[in-house]
Amino acid sequence: MLMTDSSQYLDFLFEAGKKLPQFVSKSVTRVFGVRKDGESADYRGTALVCTFKERLAFVTANHVLTEIENSGNYKCIAFSATNEGFQARYERFPDIDVAVIIPETNIPIASKYLPWQAEISDFHMTDETIPFDYMLLYGFPNRFSRYSAFAQGVVSEGYTHCTWVRPRISQTSALLRSLYAEVKGYEPIPDEELKPFHFCLNFDEPTGPLKSQDGELITSNGILEEHAGLYVDMQSLPGTQPFGAFGLSGSPVWRFGAVEANWKLESWTVNFARLVGIVTHWNEVRHCLIATRFGDIASKLKEII
């Protein structure tokens, strides 16, 4: 449950938030379209590198692959986590907008990557519990790279976003509504805008307590002005809108595990983190990211692996 001491609460978010991105970012890779004309590969999205039942797999949004295929400009896909091509089995789940790429043989992974064990996930995450934890998304927006307050340095490729789950109207108790009104100041999402397997991450906001590279607390939102680049009209990829958080499709989402640690930093380690979902689309009206629960993805994987 959220703590009433806001200073202790913010200290937990910042200190835990410095450690967790470094732990999970090793399991996130870029997705590229390899061009038919031999030009440099185009960045198209994000994927989770994981193992499931000891099999290596890449999990991303299904539309990332279909947009590559439908453009007609690409001969195959590639991942920054691998140094060479490989034969793979493609499993598509368009009903939840998820695709899983499974190499047919053991393949080498670049040394800086560490596949996430998919079993370390919250398979039974519920609408009654997740609004009380804190979420971390790590991905690669295709026109945004910034200093990460949570990764203790400049992240030249990746983007860290830490936020709350934005609850559904039907699940918001009076207590939860009052907490959100006080702490976050935004309304719950109408139920009809989310599928049963979805949850929503607020995105049009600063990414939690920030500090400079010298450790000073940043109190001005000016440091986040470039954040607007995710929302304004700019050159877009084929088949997409010219605004939105493009490139974050397929980004994995973890919860901190703050609830299990009772929001006490001395009781918390990065091992409390649990994979909870994969970003599958962007709600441009509400400026929020919609993710598919990993429990629903795992149910599909159990049938094929």
CATH number at residue 86: 2.40.10
Q: Going by C-beta distance under 8 Å and a sequence separation of 6 or more, which residues neighbour residue 40?
A: none
Q: Do 160 and 84 share a structural domain?
A: no
Does 10 reside within a domain?
yes
Q: Do 253 and 136 share a structural domain?
A: yes
Q: Do 266 and 178 share a structural domain?
A: yes
Task: Name the percent of the chain lying above pLDDT 90.
Answer: 37
Q: Do 252 and 146 share a structural domain?
A: yes
Q: Do 134 and 277 share a structural domain?
A: yes
Q: Do 37 and 145 share a structural domain?
A: no
Is the pLDDT at 182 greater than 90, yes or no?
no
Does 224 reside within a domain?
yes
User: What integer pLDDT is reported at residue 142 of this predicted model?
Assistant: 64
Q: Which has more confidence, 10 or 109?
A: 109
Quote the DSSP letter at residue 117: E
User: What integer pLDDT is reported at residue 176 of this predicted model?
Assistant: 53
User: What integer pLDDT is reported at residue 263 of this predicted model?
Assistant: 85
Domain boundary among 76, 93, 116: 116
Task: Name the percent of the chain lying above pLDDT 70.
Answer: 70
Is the pLDDT at 158 greater than 90, yes or no?
no
Rounded to an integer, the average pLDDT of 1-9 is 53
Q: Do 82 and 14 share a structural domain?
A: no
Does 78 reside within a domain?
yes
Residue 72 token pair: 């007609």
Which of 114-118, 159-163, 224-228, 285-289 shows the lowest per-residue confidence on average (mean pLDDT)? 224-228
- How remote is the C-alpha of 202 from its chain's centroid? 12
pLDDT band at 156 (very low <50, low <70, confident <90, very high): very low
Q: Which of 7-16, 98-107, 145-154 has the highest mean pLDDT?
A: 98-107
Cβ atoms 236, 244 nearer than 8 A = no
Domain boundary among 85, 116, 147: 116
Is the pLDDT at 110 greater than 80, yes or no?
yes
Q: Do 111 and 34 share a structural domain?
A: yes
User: What integer pLDDT is reported at residue 86 of this predicted model?
Assistant: 93
**Burial state string for 193-206 with b = 16 or more CB within 10 A and e = fewer than 16:** ebbebbbbbbbebe
Per-residue pLDDT of 282-304, as tens digits, reads: 887 777 889 999 999 999 988 88
Domain boundary among 92, 116, 140: 116
Quote the DSSP letter at residue 151: T
Which of 95-99, 227-231, 276-280, 286-290 shows the lowest per-residue confidence on average (mean pLDDT)? 227-231
Q: How far apart, in Å, do the first and last CA atoms of the chain sit?
A: 36
Q: Do 277 and 148 share a structural domain?
A: yes
Does 301 reside within a domain?
no
Domain enclosing residue 262, as ranges: 6-25+125-295
Query: Which of 48, 30, 64, 44 is CA-nearest to residue 102?
Result: 48
Overall domain count for the chain? 2
Is the pLDDT at 239 greater than 80, yes or no?
no
Rounded to an integer, the average pLDDT of 171-176 is 59
User: What integer pLDDT is reported at residue 104 of this predicted model?
Assistant: 94
pLDDT band at 230 (very low <50, low <70, confident <90, very high): very low
Q: Which has more confidence, 85 or 215?
A: 85
Q: Do 225 and 154 share a structural domain?
A: yes
Rounded to an integer, the average pLDDT of 68-75 is 91
Q: Do 153 and 64 share a structural domain?
A: no
Does 303 reside within a domain?
no
pLDDT band at 203 (very low <50, low <70, confident <90, very high): confident
Q: Do 285 and 182 share a structural domain?
A: yes
Does 1 reside within a domain?
no
Does 304 reside within a domain?
no
Does 189 reside within a domain?
yes
